[in-house]
Structure 1
């Protein structure tokens, strides 16, 4: 992280919010002392609320105070409230010195909509849902023009509706200069039970956006570091109203980038995608392990595999059915062909998007089906799809191109319906053609599927 900063001159004001024992500041200062950064003097502004760490932080920073060209202020106070007071021009707040450099490993914690932090952030025009994004937004706001911000944060801000205001905030005030992605979630952060990828990002306050350097490594040893430069239109698509931030991991264009035949939205296709409406713990009294005369099949991810739909499954730890009555009827869909996508993948699973086809004959002619909340469901106004369309859609979603595309903007184990809505698809006619072809083939290899998609989409 310290190595990502460009060389500088003059005076440096370094902000380290959530400084802990000062490891990040120390890395920056080590680079400066070894001649890697040519500042005449450096002042560190370190924020750390944990009084058990501030003594260690003080000792860390004191090591650099022996030439008269270094000073440090340690603030044992809440960074968010302090920064907001400074930025809002409160008469009684201490005026803050504009920072030239920021190095951050901020805390991660959801912010409730009416919490004191959320209310404080709104005073300075920041709307965000997590402490980490709040810290980054405030750091940008506190930085002078040309200020450099380097932070290690989760990738969750890159996509999804909740982080849209935060994406707008950073894209309007800063240029993205560098992003580093760890290819393995389990190795770089093996002690932290990480559910999503973390990214190191360098931003320049007020910078003019240009190409972005993207580097990858398997883990924190950086032994297999690979770096490529990408034009910004591969990072942020001009026709994307949600402004998802993509992280391409190779110099080659993903297959989904190229074909003009993969440009349709779900609206163009006349399709909808929804999260499975049956939340099992809320309807627990109506769930049944085995189907009966007044029940409907209840489908979980476990009911789907590469070989199709298997229902019921004896010995399954989840129920196989849900009682049909006035309380459950509104959550059920007419029996038919559907395409479903699991909402969660395991940490190191080969593929993020795992799509399957619901086969209506698997249920013995029942009129309705229940879809549990861990499934995303493609449908036409809450009705099934033509079989070739359902099969073509599932084949498309299981291609390498889609997997690569999805990984570019989502580092989370979760696949949300919103993510699937933002993706581009082949035309309805192409998907039907792909499905009809698959129905004639029997068992297909991944290579056959990829090849056929290429012939249909150009």
Structure 2
């Protein structure tokens, strides 16, 4: 499949050649498209050659010829589709060129949509990608489909049949599944189109070798996502490796997921006469690494199976990160750190510490979710038991990693006795934080909601599972508190919003007084907590994106009004940023990790 720019270049080569009898030079193509660099044109020509549209002999002038083996057909791009919360379909007039042989006949059975949102990133579907859809009204469990909800909302999700309807499952842990009794399948995804143009602003020759850039251009994004392949720019590698000691002569250095060998290049330049070792499960990447670092000892192996422990002075790299279902053998081997859902990067941290000699250093790029996520609590305990955190720094701009969408973190551990650096512990919950000292000071002469006898519960109504109970008639039900009902000025009920009925028909309700707060707090950089008071005696149910704070049964001197004011104060928001490092606050964090003045 061709991107818009690739199609334009191919058309220009064909027209130029037909008119003048010979092919254009790269400089002429650059001039025609008003591009600054011939290198960019070379990348596009290489891609067109690899896809079979052009023939190009290296180091030969005007040797570009168009292949006539496959005709391009135009697929209509009907609009945008949400890979986040459902949105209304928007029809645009646009087409995209695809080789005819890529799609089985009849071609009228296909259309394309531009993706909006990032709920399907773990399936290799990114924001602004184009997905090619085959029209059909049925789908198997686990297939990615275009689903029509309520006759006007469309969304892109994996479909699963449930006992009472359907589950539309996102491929991003930040998003919750959508449950619905009825939907209409409008087609399933058969291909994803991504342009290398979308990555070129994030990739430069100063950051990567030519071999890595070539791989990024050619490699299928879905395949890279499957193996958790993200490649680290040189500037970030340099920053991380600079935190390691350089006084060890001829250190033994391992990158257990070496990819194209970029980290080994940085290690070669930084350490004194290092002995470089690199492993990767992908044979193709080992081949690229051999081109980049021919002197390294490279192996095509599964790092999680290797038990050659206590051999290395430094373990470095950007290990893969994706959730998976471990086998019994893997679960047994890593039982010390597994709790709930398993992300593969946590196993690389466990292995990395094991591979190190006593006093050795681990330097990884990992997601910051390990700092406070409930599923990583056992991992944090293992780290504290076996190593000291020497350096921790969150990079909030995910765009520095080609194809990645989440925040990342620089982490340096030293194997040996833990000194308590970057650690904060309260109410038997241990978290890692860059500002751990700030958190310690914030809790001086303070209590938590748990200490004061308050309890926090997440809203218990999942609206997609209970559509038949929702109503806009106040006489038919009790108020349903949505996140949008909680404003900067407190609770606003009723608040009319399309598709969000304000009441629910049930006799199973909660009763005030209590405080409701939003569970989704925004981005890491712009965290915001809003609070509203449910008055005494008011019947209500909270929606699942709301946390509810219930007062203690015993007398408490702290009034609801004062508590609500504290929760939304700048001081508490700053603490919240350091506790969660995330876009939402759990009921446990709210109950046990937020300092309250009494």
Q: How does the TM-score come out when normalised to structure 2?
A: 0.55
Checking the alignment, whether the CA contact within 8 Å between 2:241 and 2:267 is kept in structure 1 is: yes
- Give 5+ residue unaligned stretches, structure 1: 32-36, 66-70, 87-94, 211-231, 431-458
Matched, 1:57 2:289: yes
Report the counterpart of residue 468 of structure 2 in structure 1.
285
Q: How does 1:399-438 map onto structure 2 within 5 Å? A: 399-426=569-596, 430=598
Report the counterpart of residue 248 of structure 1 in structure 2.
435
Matched, 1:369 2:551: no
| Distance in 2 (alpha carbons) for counterparts of 1:203 and 1:255 | 21
1:34-89 alpha-carbon deviations (Å, 9 max, x no partner): xxx334xx333322222332211221111xx3xxxxx4122x23221x22xx2xxx
Flag the 1:397–1:384 CA change in 2: closer, same or farther, 3 A: farther
For the residue of structure 2 that corresponds to 1:29, the secondary structure is helix
| Distance in 2 (alpha carbons) for counterparts of 1:399 and 1:255 | 16
| Distance in 2 (alpha carbons) for counterparts of 1:189 and 1:414 | 23
Report the counterpart of residue 77 of structure 1 in structure 2.
301
Shift of 1:384: 13
The total of aligned residue pairs comes to 357
2:413 to 180, 195, 203: 203
Shift of 1:116: 5.2
1:391-430 alpha-carbon deviations (Å, 9 max, x no partner): 2222112222222222223211121111112224335xx3
Checking the alignment, whether the CA contact within 8 Å between 2:488 and 2:531 is kept in structure 1 is: yes
| Distance in 2 (alpha carbons) for counterparts of 1:418 and 1:114 | 30
Flag the 1:159–1:386 CA change in 2: closer, same or farther, 3 A: same
Checking the alignment, whether the CA contact within 8 Å between 1:104 and 1:152 is kept in structure 2 is: yes
| Distance in 2 (alpha carbons) for counterparts of 1:317 and 1:386 | 39
1:3 to 242, 245, 258: 242
Shift of 1:114: 5.7
For the residue of structure 2 that corresponds to 1:6, the secondary structure is coil
Q: How does 1:34-433 map onto structure 2 within 5 Å? A: 37-39=271-273, 42-62=274-294, 65=295, 71-74=296-299, 76-80=300-304, 82-83=305-306, 86=307, 95=308, 98-112=311-325, 117-122=330-335, 125-128=336-339, 129-182=342-395, 184-185=396-397, 188=400, 191-194=403-406, 197-207=407-417, 209=419, 232=421, 235-237=422-424, 240-248=427-435, 254=438, 257=441, 260-262=444-446, 264-288=447-471, 290-325=472-507, 329=508, 332-334=509-511, 336-347=512-523, 350-352=526-528, 354-360=529-535, 367-380=538-551, 389-426=559-596, 430=598
1:226-284 alpha-carbon deviations (Å, 9 max, x no partner): xxxxxx3xx324655222112119xxx6487157431x132331200111111222223
For the residue of structure 2 that corresponds to 1:243, the secondary structure is strand
Checking the alignment, whether the CA contact within 8 Å between 1:337 and 1:357 is kept in structure 2 is: no
1:162-189 alpha-carbon deviations (Å, 9 max, x no partner): 211101101110111111222x446545
Checking the alignment, whether the CA contact within 8 Å between 2:309 and 2:354 is kept in structure 1 is: no
Flag the 1:189–1:303 CA change in 2: closer, same or farther, 3 A: farther
- Give 5+ residue unaligned stretches, structure 2: 1-239
Shift of 1:388: 6.6
| Distance in 1 (alpha carbons) for counterparts of 2:494 and 2:440 | 36
Bigger relative contact order (CA 8 A; separation at least 6): 1
Flag the 1:10–1:315 CA change in 2: closer, same or farther, 3 A: closer
Checking the alignment, whether the CA contact within 8 Å between 2:324 and 2:343 is kept in structure 1 is: yes
| Distance in 1 (alpha carbons) for counterparts of 2:410 and 2:543 | 36
Report the counterpart of residue 129 of structure 2 in structure 1.
none
1:321-370 alpha-carbon deviations (Å, 9 max, x no partner): 21115xxx1xx211x23222222133366224x13113449xxx8x5201
Q: Indicate the structure with greater strand content.
A: 2
CA RMSD of superposed structures (Å): 2.9
Shift of 1:4: 1.7
For the residue of structure 1 that corresponds to 2:323, the secondary structure is coil
Shift of 1:208: 5.2
Flag the 1:7–1:255 CA change in 2: closer, same or farther, 3 A: closer
Flag the 1:239–1:351 CA change in 2: closer, same or farther, 3 A: closer
Flag the 1:411–1:190 CA change in 2: closer, same or farther, 3 A: farther
Report the counterpart of residue 436 of structure 1 in structure 2.
none
Checking the alignment, whether the CA contact within 8 Å between 2:458 and 2:548 is kept in structure 1 is: yes
| Distance in 2 (alpha carbons) for counterparts of 1:321 and 1:338 | 18
Shift of 1:190: 8.3
Report the counterpart of residue 125 of structure 2 in structure 1.
none
Report the counterpart of residue 235 of structure 2 in structure 1.
none
Flag the 1:190–1:423 CA change in 2: closer, same or farther, 3 A: farther
1:285-304 alpha-carbon deviations (Å, 9 max, x no partner): 2222x134331111111111
Shift of 1:21: 0.8
| Distance in 1 (alpha carbons) for counterparts of 2:252 and 2:439 | 44
Flag the 1:310–1:126 CA change in 2: closer, same or farther, 3 A: closer
| Distance in 2 (alpha carbons) for counterparts of 1:193 and 1:174 | 29
| Distance in 1 (alpha carbons) for counterparts of 2:365 and 2:502 | 43
